[in-house]
Each structure stands twice: as structure tokens, then as C-alpha cells.
């Protein structure tokens, strides 16, 4: 640290020394400058040195502290970022693992869905077949009932028409002899009945 400070001071002094030749090159020779000029130059150098030293001793610690703080801050940031990077890397590993397990899970879910779907399909088909069978049985029963009803209605209609035709024929062809015989038959049927008391 001391070497650093000394080298800075020496470097500043050399810079001042370099300024003299540069000033001397302004139209005249180095040896042609007057004593007053050299004195002025000396005062300026002294002024600069004093000013430099004042600045150096006043600003050395704050600047040092500033840069030290900056360095520590950067170090902390770096450390934090490294931690973060490590965490992210870890998370990345976890995510990759999860992704691989999700892929396996996806396969398992798809397989389960396919299995459930096949089972549901079989169930629906079985149910539909059962329902269809029931419908066929009901239809057959209904058809049987309809046929029975139709037969009964046909028989009733036949009976009704037969009775109507018979009635018409009897009305047209009934004779006095038939009337007489009807009364005789009626009386005969009563006499055949057992007495009520």
C-alpha cells in the first residue's frame, strides 16, 4: 500500500517535470528562460504539490472507503448471484426431474384413460345390447297383444254382424206358426223348471 502511494507521488512529480520541457519549447530555448520564470515555475510546482498533498490526505480515506465498500458490495452481489445461480441450477435439476416424472405420469394417465375408455365402451355396448333385447321383447309382447286384441275385435264384429243379419232374417221370415211355437216353447221351458216353493 505504501509502495502504491509513493509511486503515485513520484508519478505526479515526474509529470510536473515533463511540463517544464513542454513549456520551454514555446519558441525559445531551454536555456534562454529568465530566473523569474524559473522562480514562477518553482512556485507553481510548490503550489501544485501542496494542493496535491492536501487533496491526497483529505480524499484518501473517503475514496479508499468508497472503493472498499464498492468492492465489498460487488463481492456480496457476486456471492449472492453465485448462490442464486446455484439455486437456479438446483431448481433446474429438480424441474428436469419433475419433467421426466411428468412425462412418465402422462404416459400412465393416458394408459389409464385408454383402459377406462375401453371398459366404458364395453359397458355401454353391453347396456345397449340389453336395452335392445328388452325393446325386442316388449315389441314382441305388444305385437302379440295387438294380434290378440285384433282377433277379439274381429270376433266381436263378426258376432255383431252375424247377430244383426240373423235378426233381419228372423224379422222378415217369422210366421204366425213361429209365434205360436215360441209361446209353446216358452211355456214348455217354464214347466220344465223346478218349482220355486
Partner 1 sequence: MDTTLAKRYARALLTLGESDGQYSKYGEELSSFAGAFSQCPLAAQVLDSPVYTYELRSKILDSILAEAQLSPIVANFVHLLADRNRLGIISGIAESYGKLVDEKEGILRGVVTTPFDELSDSQFSAIREALGTFTGAKVILAYQKDPSLIGGVVARVGDLVLDGSLKTQLKKLNDSFS
The region that residue 124 occupies, defined by phi over 0 for left and psi between -120 and 50 for alpha, beta otherwise, is alpha
Which CB, 102 or 184, lies closer to partner 1? 184
The region that residue 174 occupies, defined by phi over 0 for left and psi between -120 and 50 for alpha, beta otherwise, is beta
CA distance 164 to 170: 10
Region 140-179 residues binding partner 1, contact defined as CB under 8 A: 152, 155-156, 158-160, 162-163, 166-167, 170-171, 174, 178-179
To partner 1, the closest distance from the beta carbon of 171 in angstroms equals 6
Cβ burial of 22 (10 Å; 0-12, 13-18, 19+) is exposed
To partner 1, the closest distance from the beta carbon of 136 in angstroms equals 31
Which CB, 129 or 157, lies closer to partner 1? 157
To partner 1, the closest distance from the beta carbon of 177 in angstroms equals 12
Q: Among candidates 51, 20, 18, which has minimal Cα distance to 38?
A: 20
Region 91-110 residues binding partner 1, contact defined as CB under 8 A: none
Which CB, 5 or 156, lies closer to partner 1? 156
Q: Assess contact for 12 and 52: CB atoms under 8 A.
A: yes
Q: Assess contact for 155 and 149: CB atoms under 8 A.
A: no
Which CB, 15 or 155, lies closer to partner 1? 155
* Binding region for partner 1 (CB under 8 A): 152, 155-156, 158-160, 162-163, 166-167, 170-171, 174, 178-180, 182-187, 189-191, 193, 195-197
Amino acid at each position: 500500500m505504501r509502495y502504491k502511494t509513493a509511486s503515485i507521488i513520484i508519478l505526479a512529480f515526474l509529470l510536473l517535470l515533463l511540463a517544464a520541457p513542454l513549456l520551454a519549447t514555446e519558441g525559445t530555448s531551454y536555456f534562454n528562460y529568465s530566473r523569474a520564470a524559473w522562480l514562477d515555475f518553482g512556485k507553481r510546482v510548490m503550489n501544485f504539490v501542496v494542493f496535491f498533498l492536501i487533496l491526497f490526505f483529505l480524499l484518501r480515506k473517503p475514496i479508499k472507503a468508497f472503493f472498499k465498500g464498492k468492492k465489498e458490495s460487488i463481492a456480496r452481489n457476486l456471492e449472492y448471484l453465485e448462490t442464486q445461480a446455484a439455486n437456479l441450477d438446483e431448481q433446474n435439476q429438480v424441474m428436469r426431474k419433475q419433467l421426466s416424472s411428468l412425462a412418465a405420469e402422462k404416459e400412465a394417465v393416458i394408459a389409464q384413460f385408454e383402459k377406462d375408455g375401453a371398459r366404458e365402451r364395453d359397458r355401454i355396448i353391453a347396456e345397449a345390447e340389453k336395452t335392445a333385447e328388452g325393446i325386442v321383447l316388449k315389441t314382441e309382447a305388444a305385437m302379440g297383444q295387438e294380434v290378440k286384441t285384433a282377433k277379439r275385435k274381429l270376433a266381436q264384429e263378426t258376432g255383431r254382424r252375424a247377430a244383426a243379419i240373423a235378426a233381419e232374417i228372423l224379422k222378415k221370415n217369422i210366421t204366425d206358426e213361429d209365434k205360436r211355437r215360441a209361446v209353446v216353447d216358452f211355456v214348455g221351458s217354464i214347466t220344465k223348471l223346478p218349482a220355486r216353493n
